[in-house]
Structure 1
């Protein structure tokens, strides 16, 4: 009885396949009727026992029609055409309860354009390039101009696209106002013509007062607000907004500001490679006016995995150039890109890579690159390489620029002395940060420190003439090598020198000052500063430091 009841319930079998190969004629739903007689039953029986068969039917039950596109409906026939939008073809307008619109991706009964002339979504199917493009535009919206796949579009991209299309609509209205202009009403201005007419009666002055004024300020304000908003969005949304804005204003505004932001984003944001390439391709497809032709390749930013850049960061290439197919290739980048790379490397505390990159990269903005290279000594201090940092202060990074010491400020000079003396550095990204200090290496010896400090003072006239710099040097030399976390120096505690030494210094001071005023060489009296005079009272004496000081004086 159970077997016969099952046979009564069996009506058909529905097999759903996601394979849209030609063998299935594009249908995702296939019905099999189990009520066919003899031959089919025998064939089915043979297939069940076939060991090589991939599909085995164990039992059958009443079929349930699953949601499907209209062209896959098994209840109503469908006629395919490439791009017929005039009227429904055949019975394409007929639907079942589970038919979906291929374009809107919702139930066909809810599609407002199912049979609308010139649209006719009922004729849409997946074998037509035309209808596929219509579907992509309906689902992706304005993002379709970036040639993105539907799998590439996430919530951030959709949010950026919705903001962009709103901006495009507002910009269109504002730009039309600008093109229309504003007519200034006639006013009662005094006539300055000869002969002079009464106010308001001179036709020449009246015609001038009726001129149309074109103000771009409204468009500029709208674009500025949109770009400021983009900077606060997520990287993907911001990229879509910047690129879309560049396309909209390319014909009536210089895109320099937008390209600068996009260059930084391509360096700082870890976009997927596919999305990265599509953004660049989209920007290159924008039609730019002749005077903006130089911006067409502005987004050709070298990716982080580029061979030349990688070898430079790893220290395998210190020149930033290599020979490719018999031609020299240089690591040449724009200043915004260089700034973005330095920012990202510093955030990751890859200070050695920052130094290698800044020494090798080239840029047309020499002053901007020089300002970035002035931070190389600080980055070397962050790595604990204080001798190289002191050397970098005094020697230029290339033959076209002066040394960093020439541009040091007094406060920077004091911080460098503190780092060289203690082997410690501030934990922040800038040498003037007020954060805690940490020890990262061995400090310079006192003799080397004095020598380097005097060279810095003699290399920079503003430092040499500043009394605070000399007092900073004296204070640093009179301090301990240990440094508080707050960055304060510990002064050395020294015993009072012998009375004979104090009297001798007092007596010799007047003569030394007179000699300095006369601008002649000064020699310290050996009877006062000799070791046997100072040593008895316990004051430590450094022969190397004294010799170095005597040599410079």
Structure 2
């Protein structure tokens, strides 16, 4: 069915194709074919333009849509660049649909439409001055960041509102600072070096009414504002920090002479301190926060535009943070550039970044588990803070373990990144030494981001071979004297080598017990060990005899170790004291463990120490025996232990006066029952 003529008729909007030549700018006219003329309903005669084939069959006055004042068709408008003293011509006249270009609301509601020195009625879109006024009205204080209106979201606007409020408060506090305080010499604090009690310094007494300028109030206000900013969303935080930096950089010290008032009261000390906090935070944010590229650049350009005083020149280039897509950085992260330098137009360019930026990049890469990229970056990057960078590079072996490359991790512990630094092994703690050996032995790593983080362990790759593990473990001990002299580290080495290469998720090692090898093999190991240790001290690459890795039994190996510890008195005493301390602290744990292991194990353990030729070592057996005697109710197997002593002939061995007396006393307890 063909639609009626009335249904085919629609509203038509006519917009000029050439806005530049249009006298109406961006105005919009509505033509309504359904509305009848007010005076008559007769159709006009057809008018034909033969040149453009345009036929006009009907005309009517259009409905006027909302428009800017300069586009009004009812009232003429005069344009000038920045005249705001008074309304020009008939610019103040408006229709019902005229809008203020500055306020973006109906002209009838504009409070500054005809106000002298403002005169929004003269505003139009062909003037840079009025465009800037409009941007400031819509963007507020954010206009100083040169942001596009499309870039401004709720977070940025919120940060701008807080910044504007802060600037108003700061102006009041800064004026108080400029006014200063007059102090009499009787209450005048001495500002000279060295300080003297009030009234006793001749120099300060001569300035009986000197004006003192204390910046403490401003410092407190800025600090409170920065604390508030750190709790906001990243965009708001950045705006607030940058705005605060610009404001305090404009502050001047009115004092003629230097006044030693402290780090918060002296402007030339307080302002650099605040800028250090601001720039450090912004450096991290530029790395960690995914700001749009244009916003990132505008933040950096804004800081560059700040006119820093002479006591803050060190911060001039502090926000020149290399973006993630920079060619030098990307080639380093991908492993295409291992040196961190490239030649650009005949000049060498280095990957050189401040420590907060390096820490932030590490944090982001670790969060993404890009451990190999972290290692490449740390090996290539350079920094003015060499001590801080060295601390970060000490984590390289751990990140290599996280990536499953345990062999490279073991080597990186012993070899420094560059020839001017010492190796990471020199700074290992006993706990870190234990964790590294555990990782090398089992091929598992802690699930956390740091080597000291507690939590579950996960498999990362194949563990080191036994020969490589022993060599690396001994090299670490010889590189670090604090580890070498610590009996705990030697016991750690023995415990880990005597454990299985399978690890529980909790990080606990599984013990391993093997049969005792022949006596000839034991003697061969002892003969080879002395020469082997000397070679380890002198050389880096040492080959271990294959026969050294034959199966070993825990107790016979421990006896072998204890017998040879007696040759080093200081090591022996340290080891015994450590064991006694642990037994004292872990009495309940030991008793529970012995209940599960039974009298055979406990008997072998006690005999091992009681029959040692060194009396210091026997004290461990005696201490353990006393624990059992004092807790017989928890040791139902103690009577069987006496039988073990009888069968071993322990009562008749020349153990020494103290040991013989305690063993006989223990046996007599059960014989008299």
Judge same fold: TM > 0.5, yes or no. Answer: yes
Deviation at 1:230, TM superposition (A): 1.6
CA distance in 1, matches of 2:395, 2:422: 14
How far did residue 290 of structure 1 move? 2.2
Partner residue in 1 for 2:389:
369
Q: Distance in 2 between matches of 1:475 and 1:248?
A: 61
2:82 matched residue in structure 1: 83
Name 2:230's counterpart in structure 1. 231
Superposed, 1:116-265 pairs within 5 Å as 116-184=115-183, 210-252=209-251, 253-254=271-272, 255-265=275-285
Shift of 1:44: 12
Shift of 1:379: 0.2
Distance 1:504 1:389, change over 3 A: closer
For this pair of structures, how many residues does the alignment match?
494
Q: Is the radius of gyration larger for structure 1 or structure 2?
A: 2
Note closer, same or farther for the CA distance 1:115–1:505 as it changes in structure 2 (3 Å cut): closer
Aligned-partner SS, 1:438 = strand
Q: How far, CA to CA, are the matches of 1:330 and 1:262 in structure 2? A: 22
| CA drift at 1:240 | 0.9
**SS of the counterpart of 2:226?**
helix
Structure 1 CA distance for aligned equivalents of residues 486 and 121 of structure 2: 84
Q: Deviations over 1:38-80 (max 9, x none)?
A: 46366799447xxxxxxxx999887432211111122222221
- Structure 2 residue aligned with 1:483: 503
Following the alignment from structure 1 to structure 2, what is the Cα–Cα distance between the partners of residues 276 and 156? 15
CA distance in 1, matches of 2:427, 2:250: 42
Deviation at 1:183, TM superposition (A): 3.2
How much has 1:28 moved relative to structure 2?
2.0
In terms of mean alpha carbon deviation, does 354-363 or 247-256 score higher? 247-256
Residue 442 of structure 1, aligned match among 439, 444, 462: 462
Judging changes above 3 Å, is the alpha-carbon distance between structure 1 residues 315 and 205 closer, same or farther for their aligned structure 2 residues?
closer
Give the drift of 1:108.
0.8
* Residue aligning to 1:99: 98
Q: 1:206 to 1:327 in 2, by over 3 A?
A: closer
Contact 1:376–1:392 at 8 Å: present in 2 too? yes
Q: Which residue of 1 aligns with 2:412?
A: 392
Is structure 2 residue 287 aligned with structure 1 residue 267?
yes
| Aligned-pair CA distance for 1:325 | 1.8
1:365-403 CA-partner distances (Å, limit 9, x unpaired): 111110010000000000000000000001111011000
- 1:20·1:28 contact (CA, 8 Å) conserved in 2? no
Q: Could you tell me which of 305, 313, 326 is aligned with 1:306?
A: 326
1:283-325 Cα shifts (integer Å, max 9, x gaps): 1111111232232222111111111111110001111111222
Q: Which residue of 1 aligns with 2:47?
A: 40
Task: Report deviation, 1:338.
Answer: 1.0
Deviation at 1:139, TM superposition (A): 0.7
User: Do structure 1's residue 334 and structure 2's residue 341 form an aligned pair?
Assistant: no
Equivalence for 2:365:
345
* Counterpart residue number, 1:423: 443
CA RMSD, 1 decimal: 3.6
2:159 and 2:235 in contact (8 A); partners too: yes
Report the secondary structure of 1:392's partner residue.
Answer: helix
SS in 1 for 2:150: coil
Q: Distance in 2 between matches of 1:489 and 1:506?
A: 18
- Answer yes or no: is the 8 Å Cα contact 1:163–1:241 preserved in 2: yes
Deviation at 1:515, TM superposition (A): 4.1
Which residue of 2 is the match for residue 466 of structure 1? Answer: 486
Contact 1:333 1:362 in 2 (8 A): yes
Please say if residues 403 and 460 of structure 2, whose CA atoms lie closer than 8 Å, have aligned partners that are also in contact.
yes
Q: Equivalents in 2 of 1:208, 1:233: separation in Å?
A: 47
- Pair 1:177–1:518, CA change in 2 (3 A): closer
Is the contact made by 1:13 and 1:62 (CA closer than 8 Å) also made in structure 2? no
Provide the secondary structure at the position in 2 that maps to 1:77.
Answer: coil
Cα distance in 1, alignment partners of residues 342 and 45 from structure 2:
78
Please state whether the residue corresponding to 2:343 is helix, strand or coil: strand
Compared with structure 1, are the counterparts of its residues 187 and 296 closer, same or farther at alpha carbon in structure 2 (3 Å cutoff)?
closer
Q: Give distance in 2, aligned partners of 1:309 and 1:204.
A: 57
Q: Bigger shift: 114-123 or 259-268? A: 259-268
Partners of 2:90 and 2:556 lie apart in 1 by 119
CA contact 1:13–1:61 (8 Å) conserved in 2: no
Report 1 or 2 for greater relative contact order, CA contacts < 8 Å, sequence distance ≥ 6: 1
CA distance in 2, matches of 1:480, 1:221: 59
Secondary structure of 2:151's partner? coil
CA distance in 1, matches of 2:321, 2:477: 41
Q: Structure 2 vs 1, CA of residues 422 and 505 (structure 1 numbering), >3 Å: closer, same or farther?
A: closer
Alpha carbons of structure 1 residues 414 and 513: separation in structure 2 relative to 1, 3 Å: closer
Does 1:284 pair with 2:304? yes
The structural deviation recorded for 1:514 is 5.5
Q: Structure 2 length as normaliser, TM-score?
A: 0.67
Shift in alpha-carbon separation, 1:103–1:168, aligned structure 2, 3 A: same
Unaligned 5+ segments in structure 1 are 49-56, 190-199, 520-553
Cα separation, 2, equivalents of 1:231 and 1:405: 38
Query: What secondary structure sits across from 1:177 in the alignment?
Result: helix
CA displacement, residues 82-112 of structure 1 (integer Å, 9 cap, x when unaligned) = 2111111222111122211000011111100
Alignment of 1:522-537 (within 5 A): none
Distance 1:475 1:321 in 2: 45
Asked if the contact 2:98–2:106 (Cα under 8 Å) also holds between the matched residues in 1, the reply is: yes
Unaligned ranges ≥5, structure 2: 38-42, 189-198, 252-270, 523-552, 572-673
